[in-house]
């Protein structure tokens, strides 16, 4: 009964989405107030029904209703409760429902937090979001219904993929989807602006907090995914340039460019068509990611089971949504005014240069990801594009962007002077060079790559602090008052940039100084790596709720002092018969020790294993940096001026003036 209820709720949600996607848009075009007024209730009703459907599916999982095909395929009566809940989004159909839930949640948020927006704008924004929702609900109902029955019911389920039975899996997809789907709001604002012809600084101000919020979630989602891969896949890598990872990274790069471009548009009313294009691209890449993951056109470690019919549906949807909006863009973009004036050397220009670099980076990832497909489609052979390619291409693109990150915040808006900038940054640059040259020596060896990476990281920190110091000096008042006079979004920017620096330190140190060894070890033997001694003490059988495992016991010492015990496992899950490597990780502020069991060595007494031990300096800084970036985003979203804008908007403003610019 419950699954049918869920199915029915989805149908009702689709009907409401249809209403939300058509009438308000038509109303805005014709000026019919009553039609425009439908947008909010329709959006909120849609959210309620999607939430009901989601609740129904969760209920089916929790109660082990194996007469539902999706539950039978992704759960098992032996599965612990928390993973039964996470199992809701453990497969294609349910994760699609999560997508739709997130979409309706964002839509709901827009309908609630946008009281200050003009009626026609809000009608258009919600209308566009409604249309996107129609597409996904149709996709779900017609090709991938999570409520499909399995008759007769299965005795027991086929279990959730053991890789996904992990706390990281419980939160990674919701975060990631919040980010992915969040860009639909920026997209909807962009389309609304194009439709209304009112593409101005106010538009940028409205969509800025939404974009930053989505970006924040995406940052966290990607970081969580990377961290999960690191400890769960069992071989110590944290980023593989796998198509599915790239699918989440491309919208992130575009979104980052968009955030910075929105700053220029809000400040100067300039480069509006470019900003709109970035908003369309960010969401287009989110949709493309969905296509790549769910259609099976590329091989990937973590793609869903695929079905060509689904691929065709998403492709068609992609063509309608993206093709449609790019057509709208081509039609409207030429009518956009130029905006305010600024110099070739100015903060605006630095931001836009960074923008170009980020967009090119996203384009390169796209090229590398799809290149095997291009060649194959043209019958020119098969090849692989992997980490060595991306690393070769990516570093030269990102290095100047990181350098500009230091310069940009210091440069004046409108007009900056190179000699003045040079004087201001003299010290920051000297510190960066010294740091870059000397810091690698603390690790014992000096390599150009390590030196360069650390130079960039120190540069970002030093130049940011220089900027902060001079900003504080210019602020009147004393002590704490000076600090409090700076806006939250300024601190947000600072924090996010520091996050990038921390991230760069992590990546540089891991890439330059990580050590690993694959050795054959029997209990009693030990191996030495990077100053640590790993002694293999024992091997035991252990029993989990739905798996059996062998667990190794390793005692780790550094010189004479004990570091700790580590317990890597090799698990065999009962239902899917998958062997899973559960690595043991010993974390300290500046390094991780990583031990994983490979394969048993058959020869000999049968107790020896191939063991992989790794020392990974500063690896946790990678994710720590991402968390700082996300926190920076959070601070920026909470900035007072977005709420100030709320009040100010109530006073009538001269509507559309291309040269109108917003106060800081």
Cα torsion 464, 467, 468, 471 to 10°: value is: -160
Q: Does 386 bind other proteins (CB under 8 A)?
A: yes
Count of positions on this chain that bind other proteins (CB under 8 A): 105
Cβ-based nearer residue to other proteins, 253 or 462: 253
Q: Does 662 bind other proteins (CB under 8 A)?
A: yes
On whether the CB atoms of residues 172 and 220 are closer than 8 A, the answer is no
Burial classification of residue 466, based on how many CB atoms lie within 10 Å of its CB (0-12 exposed, 13-18 middle, 19 or more buried): buried
Q: Does 376 bind other proteins (CB under 8 A)?
A: yes
Q: Which of residues 289-308 bind other proteins (CB under 8 A)?
A: 291, 295-301, 305-308
Cβ-based nearer residue to other proteins, 392 or 442: 392
Q: State how far the Cα of 216 lies from the Cα of 107, in Å rounded to an integer.
A: 17
Supply the minimum distance, in Å, between the C-beta of residue 515 and other proteins: 9
Among 242, 592, 620, 639, binds other proteins (CB under 8 A): 242
**Residue 52, CA distances (Å) to 181, 258, 348 in order:** 19, 34, 46
Q: State how far the Cα of 43 lies from the Cα of 33, in Å rounded to an integer.
A: 17
Going residue by residue from 501 to 540, which x/- string records binding to other proteins, judged by CB under 8 A?
Answer: ---------------xxxxx--------------------
Among 63, 77, 82, 578, binds other proteins (CB under 8 A): 578
Among 31, 41, 80, 387, binds other proteins (CB under 8 A): 387
On whether the CB atoms of residues 202 and 229 are closer than 8 A, the answer is no
Q: How far is CA 292 from the centre of its chain?
A: 16
Supply the minimum distance, in Å, between the C-beta of residue 242 and other proteins: 6
Cβ-based nearer residue to other proteins, 106 or 206: 206
Of 5-13, 131-139, 280-288, 561-569, which part binds other proteins (CB under 8 A)?
A: 280-288
End-to-end CA gap in the chain: 56
Select from 84, 86, 94, 104 the least CA-distant residue to 146. 94
Q: Does 599 bind other proteins (CB under 8 A)?
A: yes
Supply the minimum distance, in Å, between the C-beta of residue 58 and other proteins: 25
Q: Which of residues 630-649 bind other proteins (CB under 8 A)?
A: 648
Going residue by residue from 144 to 163, which x/- string records binding to other proteins, judged by CB under 8 A?
Answer: --------------------
Mark 340-356 as b/e (b = at least 16 C-beta within 10 Å): bebeeebbbbbbbbbbe
Supply the minimum distance, in Å, between the C-beta of residue 96 and other proteins: 17
Of 470-478, 484-492, 535-543, 573-581, which part binds other proteins (CB under 8 A)?
A: 573-581
Cβ-based nearer residue to other proteins, 339 or 506: 339
Q: How is 300-315 classified by DSSP, letter by letter?
A: -TTPPP--HHHHHHHH
Contacts of residue 588, Cβ cutoff 8 Å, sequence gap at least 6: none
Burial classification of residue 155, based on how many CB atoms lie within 10 Å of its CB (0-12 exposed, 13-18 middle, 19 or more buried): exposed
DSSP letter at 154? P
Among 91, 372, 409, 499, binds other proteins (CB under 8 A): 372
Supply the minimum distance, in Å, between the C-beta of residue 296 and other proteins: 7
Among 268, 272, 497, 591, binds other proteins (CB under 8 A): 268
Cβ-based nearer residue to other proteins, 62 or 375: 375
Q: Which of residues 82-111 bind other proteins (CB under 8 A)?
A: none
Tally the C-alpha atoms within 13 A of residue 59's C-alpha that lie toward its C-beta: 13
Q: Does 323 bind other proteins (CB under 8 A)?
A: yes
Q: State how far the Cα of 267 lies from the Cα of 280, in Å rounded to an integer.
A: 21
Among 21, 225, 269, 499, binds other proteins (CB under 8 A): 269
Of 24-32, 115-123, 143-151, 345-353, which part binds other proteins (CB under 8 A)?
A: 345-353
Cβ-based nearer residue to other proteins, 479 or 654: 654
For residue 421, report the phi and psi dihedrals to the nearest 5 degrees: -60, -45
Q: Does 605 bind other proteins (CB under 8 A)?
A: no
Of 28-36, 37-45, 319-327, 469-477, which part binds other proteins (CB under 8 A)?
A: 319-327
What share of residues in the chain are helix, strand, coil (percent, to 5)? Answer: 65, 10, 25
Among 5, 555, 634, 660, binds other proteins (CB under 8 A): 660
Q: State how far the Cα of 215 lies from the Cα of 487, in Å rounded to an integer.
A: 20
Question: Which helix (H) or strand (E) covers residue 570, if one does?
Answer: strand 569-573
Supply the minimum distance, in Å, between the C-beta of residue 323 and other proteins: 6
Cβ-based nearer residue to other proteins, 109 or 326: 326
Select from 256, 272, 261 the least CA-distant residue to 340. 272
Cβ-based nearer residue to other proteins, 278 or 461: 278
Handedness of CA 135, 141, 142, 146 (dihedral sign): positive
């Amino acid at each position: 009964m419950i699954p049918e209820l869920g199915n029915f709720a989805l149908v009702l949600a689709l009907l409401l989405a249809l209403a939300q996607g058509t009438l308000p848009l038509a109303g805005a075009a014709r000026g019919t107030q009553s039609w425009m007024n439908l947008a909010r209730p329709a959006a909120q009703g849609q959210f309620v029904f999607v939430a009901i459907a989601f609740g129904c599916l969760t209920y089916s999982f929790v109660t082990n209703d194996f007469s539902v095909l999706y539950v039978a395929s992704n759960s098992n009566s032996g599965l612990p409760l928390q993973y039964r809940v996470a199992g809701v989004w453990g497969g294609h159909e349910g994760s699609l429902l999560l997508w739709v839930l997130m979409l309706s949640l964002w839509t709901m948020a827009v309908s609630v937090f946008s009281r200050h927006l003009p009626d026609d704008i809000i009608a258009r924004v919600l209308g566009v979001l409604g249309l996107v929702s129609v597409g996904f609900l149709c996709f779900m109902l017609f090709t991938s219904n999570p409520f499909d029955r399995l008759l007769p019911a299965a005795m027991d389920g086929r279990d959730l993929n053991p890789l996904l039975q992990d706390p990281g899996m419980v939160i990674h997809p919701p975060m990631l989807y919040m980010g992915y789907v969040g860009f639909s709001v920026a997209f909807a604002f962009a389309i609304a602006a194009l439709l209304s012809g009112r593409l101005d600084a106010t538009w940028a101000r409205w969509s800025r907090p939404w974009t930053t919020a989505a970006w924040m979630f995406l940052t966290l989602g990607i970081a969580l995914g990377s961290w999960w891969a690191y400890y769960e896949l069992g071989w110590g890598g944290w980023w593989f340039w796998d198509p599915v990872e790239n699918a989440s990274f491309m919208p992130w790069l575009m979104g980052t460019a968009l955030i910075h471009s929105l700053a220029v548009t809000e400040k100067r009313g300039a480069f509006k068509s470019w900003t709109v294009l970035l908003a369309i691209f960010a969401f287009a890449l989110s949709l493309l990611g969905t296509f790549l993951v769910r259609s099976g056109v590329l091989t990937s470690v973590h793609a869903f089971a695929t079905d060509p019919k689904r691929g065709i549906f998403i492709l068609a949807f992609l063509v309608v949504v993206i093709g449609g909006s790019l057509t709208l863009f081509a039609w409207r973009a030429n009518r956009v005014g130029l905006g305010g004036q600024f110099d070739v050397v100015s903060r605006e220009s630095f931001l836009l240069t960074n923008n170009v670099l980020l967009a090119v980076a996203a384009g390169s990832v796209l090229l590398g990801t799809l290149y095997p497909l291009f060649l194959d489609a043209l019958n020119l052979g098969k090849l692989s594009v992997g980490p060595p390619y991306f690393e070769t291409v990516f570093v030269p693109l990102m290095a100047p962007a990181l350098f500009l990150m230091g310069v940009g915040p210091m440069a004046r808006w409108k007009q900056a002077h190179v000699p003045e900038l040079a004087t201001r940054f003299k010290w920051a640059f000297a510190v960066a060079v010294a740091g870059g040259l000397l810091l690698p020596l603390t690790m014992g060896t000096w390599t150009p790559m390590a030196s360069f990476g650390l130079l960039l990281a120190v540069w970002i920190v030093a130049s940011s602090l220089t900027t902060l110091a001079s900003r504080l000096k210019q602020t009147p008042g004393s002590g704490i008052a000076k600090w409090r006079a700076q806006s939250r979004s300024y601190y947000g920017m600072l924090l996010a940039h520091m996050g990038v620096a921390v991230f760069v330190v992590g990546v540089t140190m891991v890439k330059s100084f990580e050590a690993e060894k694959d050795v054959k070890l029997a209990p009693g033997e030990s191996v030495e790596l990077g100053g640590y001694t790993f002694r293999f003490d024992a091997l035991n059988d252990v029993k989990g709720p739905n798996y059996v495992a062998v667990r190794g016991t390793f005692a780790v010492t550094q010189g004479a002092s004990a570091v700790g015990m580590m317990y890597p496992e090799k698990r065999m899950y009962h239902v899917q018969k998958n062997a899973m490597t559960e690595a043991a990780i010993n974390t300290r502020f500046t390094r991780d020790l990583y031990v994983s069991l490979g394969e048993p060595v058959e020869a000999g007494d049968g107790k020896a294993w191939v063991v992989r031990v790794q020392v990974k300096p500063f690896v946790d800084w990678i994710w720590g940096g991402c968390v700082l970036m996300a926190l920076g985003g959070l601070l920026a979203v909470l900035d007072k001026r977005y709420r100030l804008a709320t009040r100010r908007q109530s006073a009538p403003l001269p509507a559309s003036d291309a040269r109108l610019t917003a106060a800081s």
